[in-house]
Amino acid sequence: MNALPVSTSGRFLIGIDASRSVSPQPTGTEIYSRYLIEALLSRAPDRISFRLYFNQPPQSTFSNPSSAIKVIPFPHLWTHVRLSLEMMLHRPDLLFVPAHVLPIVHPRRSVVTVHDLGYLYFPEAHPPRQRWYLDRSTRWHTRTAAHLLADSAATKRDLINQYHADPDTITVAYPGLDPSVKRVDDPAEIARVKAKYHIDGDYLFYLGTIQPRKNLQRLIEAFLQPPTSNLQLLVAGKPGWYSEQFLQQAHDRVKFIGYVDAADKNTLLSGAMAFVFPSLYEGFGFPVLEAMACGVPVLCSNTSSLPEVAGDAALLVNPLEVDAIAHGLQEIVTNAELRKTLIERGYQQAQKFTWQACAEVVLNVFEKVLNSDKMKG
C-alpha cells in the first residue's frame, strides 16, 4: 500500500459503521462486513486507528491495538439520527460504510460499498417501499460519497450506466471466501447431518435467501423434470420478500430447511451431488465460492456478476429459461467427467478470493481518498 499522508496528529482515524457485522444469522452483506472489518484491522499500517460504531453491544470481538469500539444505541433511525450526531460531535478523518447507508451527516472523506442493483433489473422481486429505499440510498451514495466500492465489475458497470457515476470514483474490491468453509469428508458426519434434516439419498443443494430474485420458481420447475426423479432438492435459507409463494411448493422431493447454522453448512454442501444457484441477479454470489471450496460441482446463472465469480469452474445457464436450467441439471447429474472437471476447477477458483486481498484494495482506496483534495461536500 502507498504511504499515507501525515495528519496533524501523526495518525488517521477511520470510522466504520460495524452495525451489520454481528448478526446472529448473517447473510451476504453481513458476512462481508464482518470479514472485511477483521481483515482491515489486521492489515492496516500503524498510522491508522479505527473506531467501530455499533447500535448494540457486539457479541463477537474485533481485536486490534489501534481500534476502539463505540456502542451508541438508539431505538429508531440509528444511521441518520444517532450516527449522524456522532459524526457531528466526534468526526473521524474518514468514514467507511461496508453494508448499509451513509448517514446524512458524514465526513467529506467517506467510502461506501454498493453490493448490487438488482432492484432495478427485477423490481417485481422487491416490495415497493424497499425498492424505493434502495434506489434513494444508492443515488445518495453516488452523489455524496468520496468513493464507492463495488463487489464486482458488473456492479460497477451498473452504477455507471444506471446512476451516471464517475468511473474514477468506483473501485472493484472482490470479497473473499470465509476461511472456515472447507470440505467435509467424514461419512459419519455427513450421515448425521442428513438425518438431522431428514434427507434420504442424494440431493441437489440451494443456499440463499428465499425471495423471487433467486429464481426458485424456475429452478423447482426444472428440477421436477427427468432425470432427477431419484433426487431431492434441498433449499436452505432465511425467508425473504414474497417467500410464501415458494414455501408452498414444498413436497416430498423439494424440501425447505430454513436458515442453516454454520456448523452444518459445510457438511450439507460437501454431501450434495451438486450446488444449484440460477439466481436472476447477484452483486457477487458467496454461495458459489463456498460450494467450490467444499468440492461440489456448481450450476449457476450466466448473468450479472456470477460469470466473474465462477470463471470456468461452473456450468453456466440462462436463468430465464426453464429448459436451459433443466438441461444443465441433467448434465451435472449424469456427466461424471464434467462433475470431476468442475470440482477440480472449483477448488482453484475459490482460492482466488481472499479477504486479505480485498482489504488491500480497500486500504488503497482509503489512501487515495485521504490524499485527495477534491472531496465532495
Domains of the chain: 12-176+354-371 (3.40.50.2000), 187-350 (3.40.50.2000)
Q: Please indicate whether residue 2 or residue 350 has the higher confidence score (pLDDT).
A: 350
- pLDDT at position 261 is 85
107 pLDDT more than 80? yes
Res 123: pLDDT: 87
Query: What cell numbers appear for 254 in the block?
Result: 423439494
Could you read off the pLDDT of 32-52 as tens digits, one per residue? 999 999 999 998 888 899 999
In tens, the pLDDT along 161-187 reads 999 999 999 999 999 998 899 999 999
Question: Tens of pLDDT along 182-217?
Answer: 999 999 999 999 999 989 899 999 999 888 889 999
When pLDDT is averaged across residues 320-332 and rounded to a whole number, the result is 96
Q: Residue 5 — pLDDT band, cuts 50, 70, 90?
A: very low
Alpha-carbon distances, residue 255 vs 40, 178, 204, 252, 325 (angstroms): 39, 26, 10, 7, 19
Q: Which has more pLDDT, 5 or 220?
A: 220
pLDDT score of 6 more than 60: no
Q: In which element (H, E) is residue 205 found?
A: strand 203-207
Q: Where are the alpha helices (DSSP H) in 224-335?
A: 244-247, 262-270, 286-293, 306-310, 322-334
Q: What percentage of the chain has pLDDT greater than the value 70?
A: 91
